[in-house]
Structure 1
Amino acid sequence: MTNVRYDRLFPFEWYSFMQENHPVFFHPKQKKWHVFKYHDVKRVLSDHTNFVQAVRSEEKATSPIETSLIGLNPPNHRQMRQLVSKVFTPKSIEDLKPRIRAIAKELLDNVIEKGEMDIVKDFAYPLPVIVIAEMLGIPKEDRDMFKKWSDDIVASAELGAFDFNNEKTSLRQKAKNITNQLHIIQKFRKAEKELGNYFKQIFNERRENPSDDLISMLIQAEVDGRKLTEFELLGFCSLLLVAGNETTTNLIGNALFSFHYFPEVPTHLRKHPEDIKKAIEEVLRYRSMVRSLERIAANDVEINGHLIRKGQLVHVWLGSANQDPDVFHKPDKLNIHRNNLQHVAFGHGIHFCLGAPLARLEVEIALEEMFTHFSDIQLIPNVEYQLNALDGIENLPISFSKA
């Protein structure tokens, strides 16, 4: 299709090419539409009449997470979201600040004498895992299991990965891809089973001895006069586990990686920490921590001159939308002083990420504490970076001096 290759680590040139030449593109092998421009992406995400989630009933669902918020349409989505929104009120998020800061300080104190660390493995991953585990009421000794289960569940997103670079794939490569996909499926099923059994045990304990944690609240809650089924409880908790740590981990890693290429940004933030909030929004726009989302056309509908038929899959590229030059001036530049920061990194419409305020707060505190603890932060050279299924950087070794 094009000589411009899709580079997951640096996709900006490819985004630009697709926006200019194929803003709405049907991939015949994948049998999916791909949408790249900002306003088209927002339209798909906000029009929940014509573009819906692939909803399955509890009886037909193959995974509890399919019955959680991420897999619901109105009116069920509204009812469930109102329930969980009680936990994510501005006051409840604000009340977490002292604990989040204490966790961040402890993690950085553990490495400050070493002069180097892997910012993802040593800091960006454990920080949100500890926070969400404490919110759910999970014992400290079980956090590592939680992270592994989360990683294996998120890895299943790779099953929908796209290869725009090679239209002709060798038989050997096809076989390798199939083997890899089977391995991912096996890990996903194992993780989901183990996580489900673990949560069921916690549910039984909380029914006998309710606490002030999130799981106890969900067990006692009612939606339209009924309690949540155990399958719905599993879906909620699984979603909170995955979304509660992967987005924050990716965002912290993306911020430090981006600062390396725009060193004037951290220099400015050290002198003007009040601009950290703006910097976070610009990092969200510049290097979106979730690559894309998928919907199904509920009706025949036209987008940008293309007729999408009822039942066809529609893949919206959040990363590309946030790099649209018709909306963001010089989008390939990390400019924390730009006026327009209306990105779609957290989605848009009724499925806008419920945990966005918590993720923003965690990253704000993380950057504040890093700038307080460290000076002269540098990426260690000649590193081969690994990306997770959501395009978050999995390894980011840095060196630093003690501030």
Structure 2
Amino acid sequence: MDHTLFSALLKNLLSVDVTDATDMDSSLYAFEKEYCFSIKMQPMFTSKALYYLLSSSKESMIYELIDQLGICLSFFTFDNRFYIIGPYVKEKYSELKTETVLAKNDESSSKSLAFKLYYTAFPIVYTEQITSVVNKCIISFSPTESEYSYRRLSGFIQDVSEEDDKTELSEKNYSEIYRRYDQEKQFLSMIRNGDTKNILSAFEKLSGPEALSDFSKETLNYYASGYGLAILKALSRKAAEESGLSVITIDEITQKYTQLSSATNNAELQTRYQIDMIVELTKAVHNHKLSLDKYSPPIQRVMEYINLHLGDHISNDDLAANASMSISHLSKVFKKETGGTMTEYIALMRCKKAAGLLKKTDLPVQEISSYVGYSDNNYFVKVFKKIYDLTPSEYRKTRIVSL
């Protein structure tokens, strides 16, 4: 039997990574190193645990693991070989769910973005797809094989004629191409400027049915195809970057919609995700301009660093390094541009994050305090009250809208 072909077939049909783990010593170590985000929260993703599970697995059984972070994998044995399918996920990313799990595990809020990028890198696949494809592949390679059962392990947490294909470009064709590019430039300019009011109509001019009918086939209007939409996605990312929006934020947004698109073959739904991505990018640029565009690039970098590391110890040395300034000079520039100190800004951002969790979850104040970077709960209460004029507990009771 061609085991490489079997693995490749599974991978192509499911669009999920497939690992031949027969050589457990090397394959399981490599699996843990590549896919385990946190040994503490994903104990069953370690080589030791997987070794035990695979060794104990029975023939004709497909096992599935789902950890507390929502990351899944399946494994089974066939023809005396072990196969691992995944990781994959079963639902779209939930920021609130992630923050709750991280806080419950006494993890820093700084890990939330890293986990979001980790989570959205995996395809959305369902159990029924896994079991159906595995069984069909097994029967294809071994027709006499019995159907495998499923067990979840819990407790671990269109044609073109020859005539149509003649594409001689005339002056009229060139004018259409220039017109299309003019529309494209307007569209990208709206993203760069954060024009949330007109971005949807601009997109429809580029890709809507009425717009496409305005152009003859000879213009080679690539926006009529999925490839054209992919190009538009890349251009949209670049326009957002040129606006000054953080590339981390851009990647966070686009990767989320890439994952959603990978979970469906419905062209209409994929286009919907494309539109949603463009709108969210434009909104992010708009918010960036409102909140940060008034500041100099060094101060923007400092603010971004703070927001990415809220749950960590943030030193003045780290901030100065990001701004490429001395600590004393950075302190003066920051105070001049923002009207407050870096310490005050850090406290404000931490308390805003905490306020959101106090409104949306029932997590204990102590866990929220630790999650946003305060190991001393009493000190957190003091800082929070200074900003909101209420203790965290009082704030949660009144459900006041955060600043």
TM over 0.5: no
Q: Give the helix-richer structure, 1 or 2.
A: 2
Give the structure with higher Rg (CA). Answer: 2
TM-score (norm 2): 0.23
**TM-score if structure 1 supplies the norm length?**
0.23
Q: Which has the higher contact order (CA 8 A, sep 6+)?
A: 1
